[in-house]
Amino acid sequence: MAIQDIKVPDIGDYTDVPIIEIHVQAGDSIQAEDPLITVESDKASMDVPAPQAGTVKEIKVKLGDSVSEGSTILTLEAEDEAASPATPAPSRAAEEEKTPPPADPPSSPPTAAPSTGPIADFSRVHASPSARRLARELEVDLTRVPPTGLKGRVTQEDIRSVAKGGAAAPVAAAPSAGGGLDLLPWPKVDFSKFGPVETQPLSRIKKISGANLHRNWVQIPHVTNHDEADITDLEAFRVQFNKANEKAGIKVSMLAFMIKAAVASLKQFPEFNASLDGDNLILKQYYHIGFAADTPNGLVVPVIRDADQKGVVEIAQEMGALAKLARDGKLKPDQMQGGCFTISSLGGIGGLYFTPIINAPEVAIMGVCRSYWKQVSPDGKESAWRFVLPLSLSWDHRVIDGAAAARFNVHFANLLADMRRIIM
């Protein structure tokens, strides 16, 4: 059997990130994808998985060490001698950063019925992705696990101790003045009593995105404005442009134009290009636009960086490349980080309007549905058929008011109606 050095894989732009947990020791038999170590950047924790099965021969790092891409973690006696030394794929925890991550990624809700009282805020618990996953599997409330790890971190051993009947931290009393959500327990139903059923586990992406969406919906006061944009002329130009460049393999979608319109709108309304940080509003001077990409395992949000410095064709090509990576499950963490504003398009499917959930820590998101022909009469006399795009702008009422949201929607729609406004 071959002895291999197992190194830290590509973890995006992160360098010199400290090791907060070591999950294996010399002599352990491990399987591919088992977590080896957990590292923590200033934004998120991520597990580094084993590239293949084997036996750990020697640990080359210790708790608290700082590592970067290429740092040796351990030596492994691989089970398959014919296998070439593999570079570990980016951590599965990278999927947990499909939306711009908070200081500590929230865990998915536990599968057991929650107790009455305020919703447990798992986002404030210091625990690695693998520890959170273990807590979900063992149905342990992370908020009640006494931490023993580095810097007050909950370790897997802490979770196993509570799962085996160890002492748990007392449940905090509910606020007396209505500060929490006093919810009834989730109903537990034996659905098989009513007919045949099939149980399918949620994908990892859906578990993670579900926790993020739940947090965002509960903590952000959402309001959604609906409007429509007349894209008759823009759609005619888009079709003509694509036909003229068909042999060159260039194809531009309407979403690429929407990203340029979003950049121009953010420049006009800077409070939309912001994030809340306590009592401060962080106004960003860059324009990174996220777009929701549908994959077989769930929704992810790749980010077009510096969209203000790119043309529509370049944006369209980058979108295509990122969407393919998303479908193949190969998006890196840094390709899903730093977004300022997100566009969620259901145009290829249908519908008229919906309420997109804001992608925290952003303060607004634009939802668009399938365009359709509509007969309009602008002057009240003569009517004409126009091709219109439904718009659904959700915004954070702590940062944005209704008048600003209405103006943003109108400005966005006007840009799509006449893209020449962008160069003025």
Q: State the catalytic residues.
A: 397
**How far apart (Å, rounded) are the C-alpha atoms in residues 142 and 169?**
10
The two most distant CA atoms of the chain are separated, in Å, by 84
Encode 288-311: b = buried (16+ Cβ within 10 Å), e = exposed.
bbbbbbbbebbbbbbbbbebbebe
DSSP 397: T
229 three-class SS: strand
Closest residue by Cα to residue 409 from 272, 227, 275: 227
- Which residues does 361 contact at the CB level (< 8 Å), separation at least 6? 100, 102, 275, 276
**How far apart (Å, rounded) are the C-alpha atoms in residues 298 and 173?**
36
**18 strand-pairing partners:** 66
- Which residues does 399 contact at the CB level (< 8 Å), separation at least 6? 271, 274, 276, 281, 363
Residue with tokens 């007349």: 230
